[in-house]
Structure 1
Amino acid sequence: MNTAGQDELHRAALAANALALCYAEVVHELLARAGLQAGDIRAIGAHGQTVRHQPGTHDGIGYTLQLNQPALLAERTGIAVVADFRSRDVAAGGQGAPLVPAFHQQVFSQPGRDVAVLNLGGIANLSLLPADGAVRGFDCGPANVLLDLWCQQHLGQPYDTDGAWARGGQALPALLRCMLAEPFLALPPPKSTGRDLFHAAWLARCLQAASAADASAQDVQATLAEFTAQACARHLQRHAPQCELLIVCGGGALNGHLMARLQALLPRVSVQPSDRHGLPALQVEAAAFAWLAHQCLAGLPGNLPAVTGARGPRILGAIYPA
């Protein structure tokens, strides 16, 4: 869905319905496990799945699109749903992303200490939480999107468990140089990216440019892991050289090889999973959007203009009553 396709509006609508039904099943299961009723829950924060993210482009405003059907989710769960978090920030001239730094500040900041939070989802994004409280944040490149893609294509597996496949390969210097030459990496914040840029065709171009089209698939995986680690490390060193602690969340925090490479590239920084700071790595993003839903219901801003580039604080999200 990040590239044009036949009858894509119809397929996107049906995919959104299917996604909302999956969400509803999960909600019902969680309620049953917790011994709660729908009426015990104030709201669901449902971000959906981003399929196009092009802020500031085309007409000077741009857009961001998430597959979601919050009305159907509210209907099937009997719980109010807060959704569409990014579009108001984009309308105010912002990137619409990342939106998690404000939440990271609430949960992970430490008085008198420079801390950074690295979310390794499909895309990698950094939240900089300096001791002076001047929070910043931005996307810094791909995290799992290309690693998972390559693993699916060559191993038939959804992801490289613990980075074991990449760990057994050798990074290819010419291919790594080509990847690190991506212009997005040199852009100053505010900036955000997604699968609109980092996709199969981007990887194919790098392989061709580096004469690596016939390289070992395992070595390409090792290079992709090194690319992710170096892109993240370079952004941290450039924008927060005094940082003492890097808290890592998202699926990439479970990739032992990637975590080891980050620590090796950042010898003066303590690289730790968010589990050691009170919130499991796979729950941080979900908790962030629950917090954003709370902000919306309370009539409070959810964005940080210094992060997204918006013209000012904005209440984010649209409410679909139960």
Structure 2
Amino acid sequence: MTERTETMYDVVIVGGGAAGLSAAQMLGRTRRSVAVVDSGEPRNAPAEEVHGFLSRDGISPAELLAVGRAEAERYGAAIVPGEVVAAAGDVHRGFEVTLDGGAVLRGRRLLITTGLTDELPDIPGLRERWGKDVLHCPFCHGWEVRDQVIGVLGTGPWSVHQSLLFRQWSNNITLFLNNTVTPGDGDLEQMAARGIKVVEGAVETLRVEGGFLRGVVLAGGPEVAVDAVVAGSRVHARLGAFTGLGLRATPHPMGIGDYLETDAEGATAVPGVWAAGNVTDLRAQVLASAASAAWTAVVINNHLMAEELERDLLAYRTSAALTGA
């Protein structure tokens, strides 16, 4: 049964991560009515800690979101559990989002902060350790594996760059080509200069023992002991619910996945719909996602203000014409 709310929020935000909550806080401070739909599935949930977030370094993802929800609610935002399965409407009539439980929320504007999903290589043991000792970002997790034995799983052209980058954190780096990466002569020279080992052959599995990653097992070959593995994922914007609005993901020029295109202020191709955070910026870390969403919230507020000003001017001029004022 569909439960359609009579409330028309100023803004409905789909996505309750750092970006969505940051926007909700900012919009709440501008005295806007806001609903945040939170599916409860943040991308960084497997990670133990958030890093590179000034004043919150080392906080767990769950605690960061709990703090963010409390701050957004303090300014009047409604946090609505659920997953959006469909969206419809336009900037003139307003937008409606339908939740998996059948509820329908309405908003004058729509902000998409649904983030990304990671498509991981199909290697046993890898997903089990994802966000723990299987990593992808040196700036997020490099410090935690400093001076350890690090293997870089070949997944594409960027794997060579990853091995060179992680060399800043450890002098014991091995690039597993995994029958996927073919370094050029220049790549091989650079890695040799930095003391990076290169291992040929396909990776069959990661050996996990006692709750820790122990080694990389090659197909038909030996096991190489490692403390951590770097694995680049392909990332995909979470946009399935918004196809009814005409929104589609765009392949990223770096060849690492897809994203939702916006202008510099977060506006999508659909008037009245904005996006912020990882769904539109694949490289943004948690702090950058929150910051971009805060600015997009300012832009949305200003668009609403302009609409209200136009409405009130029309009413004022009509009244003045009737009274002769």
TM beyond 0.5? no
TM-score, normalised by the number of residues in structure 2: 0.25
TM-score, normalised by the number of residues in structure 1: 0.25
Which has more radius of gyration?
Answer: 2
Q: Which has the higher helix share?
A: 1
Q: Which has the higher strand share?
A: 2
